[in-house]
Structure 1
Amino acid sequence: MAGLSSSQIPDGEFTAVVYRLIRDSRYSEAVQLLSAELQRSSRSRAGLSLLAYCYYRLQEFELAAECYEQLSQMHPELEQYRLYQAQALYKACLYPEATRVAFLLDNPTFYSRVLRLQAAIKYSEGDLPGARSLVEQLLSGEAGEDSGGENDPDGLVNMGCLLYKEGHYEAACSKFFLALQASGYQPDVSYNLALACYNNRHYAPALKHIANIIERGIRQHPELGVGMTTEGIDVRSVGNTVVLHQTALVEAFNLKAAIEYQLRNFEAAQEALTDMPPRAEEELDPVTLHNQHTIMLRDSVIQECVQFLEHCEIFGRNIPAVIEQPLEEERMHIGKNTVTYESRQLKALIYEIIGWNM
């Protein structure tokens, strides 16, 4: 279907072809077909809506916002298009424009969603007190019945991000964990949890969440062609960057590299590192990692790591390190699939590092 043009599509099958391309994440091809079709019928609501969706998935947020602006002008009675326009402008980092459009929405149906968006904008602009006020309003239930109150996953994630930004990593971990419990597995939230654990120097749980992201991403997207294990995966050989970002695989590998680097396991860090930067954290930038030289771990840091792992070793005997699926053909040895076993391995690694530097 590569290079398919509108003239090659049989009558009555255009919509089915476009939806098939979108289903297969072939958004660029769908954009080509939809753009050509809209030149002939520029006021097609369905075509413009699908084009906006494809642009958004391709992270062409400004183009998506332009499409949603046209839709809101064509159908002012459908206020969701203004909301989508504001969200796309926010993703494009056009914060004043996103705020302006968001303030035009006065439909109570979208009140909590607009409040979330305004909180995200204030957070991105560095207005942490303003963002906190809006998030607390969401979590308190003041935003209406659809806000979810204290069990609202989006509100919990937003509060976790605020706590993380303020340096309260342990509290941020708690919010991200509650958000995962409320919404189920979400790659971005799981990555945020791993990142908060990393900054709190809790490397073992951070690695556990990273392994979960990698395993789920590979299992859910076998089309990536990176195999079915987390060892020896070369993310750089994969061309579908949209799927990689949706699954947070790139971020997971970079964070894994950063943890290995902090533990001075430089060879493992080099193997885990990808050549695509993570979303936000400067300290995880691959170029920074490549250009750093040897660092020295304070004795107190080593003692904290060893003490933490010893506690894990004591209380983790009956806690599985990896939740295996019931139908898996190859199962881990029961003695190895425990937090205790992994804690001993990490502690042995630390002792090896200490001995190596003596």
Structure 2
Amino acid sequence: MVLDYVNIKDGEYTKTVYSLIKEKAFPEAIRILNQVNDVNPNRAGLSLLAYCYYHTQDYVNSANCYEQLIELHPEQPEYKLHYAQSLYEASLYDEAFKVSSQIAEPGYEEKLTKLQAAIKYGQEDIVAAKSLVEVCSQDDPDRDINFGCLLYKEGKYEEALQKFLRTSQVIGFNAHLQYNVALCYYRLKEFPLALKYINNIVERGIRDHPELGVGMQSEGSEVKSVGNTLTLHETALTETFNLKAAIEYQGKNLEAAREALNDMPPRHEHELDAVTLHNHALINMDLKPTEGFEKLHFLLQQNPFPAETFPNLILLYCKFQYYDLAADVLAENADLTYSMSQYLYEFVDALITSQTSPEEAFLKFEDISSRYAEQLRRLTKTVQEGRSQGDNEEVKRGVLDYEDALDKYIPVVMAQAKIYWDLENYPEVERIFRKSVEFCNESDVWRLNVAHVLFMQENKYKESASFYEPIVKKQFDNILSISAVVLANLCVSYIMTSQNEEAEDIMRKIEKEEEQQSFEDPTKKFFHLCIVNLVIGTLYCAKGNFEFGISRVIKSLEPFNKKLGTDTWFYTKICFLSFIENMAKHLISAKDLTIKECLQFLEGCETHGRQVVTVIDTPLQDEDATTKAKRTVTFEARLLKHTFLKMRSIDRTVSVFDFEDLK
């Protein structure tokens, strides 16, 4: 978009505005121009104002200015073109196409064709967009880029990639073109190559535009917002960091995903684009679920919004077990189900059904799993035939399709298994897993859940250990990255099969790693060894050996300032409550020394547990201050201490009565 210099009158304000535009201080220029136009609206002022609005990506106001210019000067086709372009950028596709169709002056054919093709692409009318791109000049490099975008939209990522790579060789570095290449590699699951192009874009952005403050937010300092400038748009940094966050999220590396979003040029939350806001909600859902749901609901009210918003909102409701809310949102937004694939719709429908009719839900899951099992067998055959014929392209496509189908098959199997898991019918869960071994035996998720179900049956510890071992060995050098529950279950399996030395090796490794990490970061808490000890202590308590079990639990939380947390307290109080229950029923008797140790331990929990909550806040939960105050370790430790003292008082009273009777 070019500045309109026609009929600009001399004056101090024009000199000031041009200076501000040259310095890219568009907000200040807009403020001055609005004051001038309120007094004396004119062609020059409106044109400059439209230009400034466009460069701050305020396309609605830019379009309003061009609309006024058209009324003042209908003979100028350039204003109509800019008007249509602003409407297109504001996602007002129908209005943009209508305005562009009214431009009949010669010399604008090529620009109009490109703009109309982009409009049809935005409307998801791929056929119309393709027909418009085909009439573009063969020498125009944008033609290949546009064809690449259309191929990408059709899911032909390999062909789209070739188009983008060829154009890149012709025109050189272009941030958006490099991003398109990275996006294709991402879709092809070639993440290292995608990251290579991502790093190229980021390095160029940092070098050419240091004023955008890339990476400044991650340093924890207050950074001024760079706003939504055209410069930011041209660098493609926003899209690039979102893609990097998506890659890290796919790899289940949430910290790296958050870091990628924080490295983005700083903007205020109200300035964030829809994709960035969506990704912030998704990646921080485990830390701030309430805010995450609020952001996703906000996006649903915008037009347009990322297509993934609606399905992700439904899936997250199901993840947090808000099935009623998921059903309500589906019913209220029936028109948005188009954004969900048939697989996802059927999967969510079965999940919601499982809450009211497990039998019906199981049949729905069975139908889905059967279809994908058949598809997996067919793809296996395709890959084998491709290998025998030496067709590497066919093999590559077949492998990608197989992985995609497997990613859909595994969640269905897990959802089926969960129905029986909730009923504590572990043999049936094991049967479901054995049925899926043909396709899932290489999946860590499947192996982990098989290990869990074998562990829960209490007579298959050796088998469960054989499934836990590969998972632990794979990350043994970075053992703290493994879930503490997995390590605890493996240690218990070893103990129950008389392999105490192997269990001690794991515990020594955990202790060594925690000591090293504590030395590097003294303020950080580590719970792995604590949870392992808690699980082992729980095992002994469950077997009736409370004296040893409780002593193990007490030792596991030392020191309190490092080990006391929401999860560790949960397992601790379970053991203590079971201990109290068995004493109350006179099934066991406890030594005075053991009771004294318990009381001292609870006093320590009371002292250090004032800021430790016993229930993690869940989204959509509204509680008063009194309820929150009771949900602390201090409050619950006092209750347990009171119960112990009360029971000891009762025992002593009974002893006196018994003594008097003997007299």
Same fold (TM over 0.5): yes
Q: Is the partner of 2:107 in helix, strand or coil? A: helix
1:201 aligns with 2:219: no
What are the Cα deviations for residues 133-187 of structure 1, in whole angstroms up to 9, with x where unaligned? 111221xx3xxxxxxx1x4232222212111111111111222223333433222
Residue ranges of structure 2 left out of the alignment (5+ in a row): 1-9, 287-315, 320-379, 381-391, 397-470, 476-481, 487-663
Q: What is the match of residue 24 of structure 1?
A: 23
Conserved 8 A contact 1:68-1:82: yes
Q: What is the match of residue 96 of structure 1?
A: 94
1:239 aligns with 2:225: yes
Q: Is the partner of 2:74 in helix, strand or coil? A: coil
Conserved 8 A contact 1:254-1:286: no
Distance 1:100 1:222, change over 3 A: same
1:288 aligns with 2:282: yes
Distance 1:279 1:81, change over 3 A: same
Distance 1:239 1:170, change over 3 A: same
Q: What is the match of residue 330 of structure 1?
A: none
Cα separation, 1, equivalents of 2:178 and 2:198: 8
Q: What is the match of residue 210 of structure 1?
A: 198
1:273 aligns with 2:261: yes
Deviation of 1:30 (Å): 0.5
Conserved 8 A contact 2:33-2:49: yes
What are the Cα deviations for residues 16-54 of structure 1, in whole angstroms up to 9, with x where unaligned? 2212211222211111111111223212x2211110011
Q: What is the match of residue 66 of structure 2?
A: 68
1:106 aligns with 2:104: yes
Cα separation, 2, equivalents of 1:354 and 1:81: 66
Q: What is the match of residue 165 of structure 2?
A: 177
- State TM-score, norm by structure 1: 0.69
Deviation of 1:13 (Å): 3.2
Distance 1:238 1:272, change over 3 A: farther
Q: What is the match of residue 355 of structure 1?
A: 474
Distance 1:186 1:278, change over 3 A: farther
Cα separation, 1, equivalents of 2:169 and 2:71: 40
Q: Is the partner of 2:184 in helix, strand or coil? A: helix
Deviation of 1:232 (Å): 5.8
Cα separation, 1, equivalents of 2:144 and 2:201: 20
Distance 1:70 1:255, change over 3 A: same
More displaced stretch, 20-29 vs 49-58: 20-29
Deviation of 1:227 (Å): 6.8
**Largest Rg, 1 or 2:** 2
More displaced stretch, 123-132 vs 73-82: 73-82
Distance 1:37 1:161, change over 3 A: same
Deviation of 1:239 (Å): 0.7
Deviation of 1:81 (Å): 0.7
Distance 1:225 1:97, change over 3 A: closer
Deviation of 1:100 (Å): 1.1
**Amino acid across the alignment from 2:279:** D
Q: May I ask how many residue pairs the two structures share in their alignment? A: 282
Q: Is the partner of 2:76 in helix, strand or coil? A: coil
More displaced stretch, 177-186 vs 211-220: 177-186
What are the Cα deviations for residues 222-249 of structure 1, in whole angstroms up to 9, with x where unaligned? 2234479xx9677994511324333222
Question: Which aligned pairs between 1:1-358 and structure 2 lie closer than 5 A?
Answer: 12-43=11-42, 45-138=43-136, 141=137, 149=138, 151-226=139-214, 237-242=223-228, 243-274=231-262, 285-291=279-285, 355-356=474-475
Deviation of 1:279 (Å): 6.2
Q: Is the partner of 2:53 in helix, strand or coil? A: helix
Cα separation, 2, equivalents of 1:32 and 1:162: 40
Q: Is the partner of 1:77 in helix, strand or coil? A: coil
Distance 1:353 1:166, change over 3 A: farther
Cα separation, 2, equivalents of 1:124 and 1:235: 38
Cα separation, 2, equivalents of 1:354 and 1:115: 59
Conserved 8 A contact 1:226-1:235: no
Cα separation, 2, equivalents of 1:64 and 1:354: 59
Deviation of 1:94 (Å): 1.3
Cα separation, 2, equivalents of 1:234 and 1:182: 41
Q: Is the partner of 1:217 in helix, strand or coil? A: helix
**Amino acid across the alignment from 1:62:** V
Cα separation, 2, equivalents of 1:134 and 1:173: 21
Cα separation, 2, equivalents of 1:261 and 1:60: 31
Distance 1:179 1:286, change over 3 A: farther
Q: What is the match of residue 418 of structure 2?
A: none
Conserved 8 A contact 1:128-1:162: yes
**Amino acid across the alignment from 1:289:** I
Deviation of 1:273 (Å): 2.5
Q: Is the partner of 1:291 in helix, strand or coil? A: coil
Cα separation, 2, equivalents of 1:58 and 1:354: 53
Conserved 8 A contact 2:245-2:256: yes
Cα separation, 2, equivalents of 1:175 and 1:236: 42
**Amino acid across the alignment from 2:56:** L
Cα separation, 1, equivalents of 2:189 and 2:220: 27
- State TM-score, norm by structure 2: 0.39
Conserved 8 A contact 2:242-2:276: no
Distance 1:281 1:287, change over 3 A: closer
Cα separation, 2, equivalents of 1:354 and 1:126: 48
Deviation of 1:120 (Å): 1.0
**Amino acid across the alignment from 1:109:** G
Distance 1:236 1:93, change over 3 A: farther
Superposed CA RMSD? 3.5
Distance 1:175 1:234, change over 3 A: farther
The structure with higher relative contact order (CA 8 Å, sep 6+) is 1
Distance 1:59 1:354, change over 3 A: farther
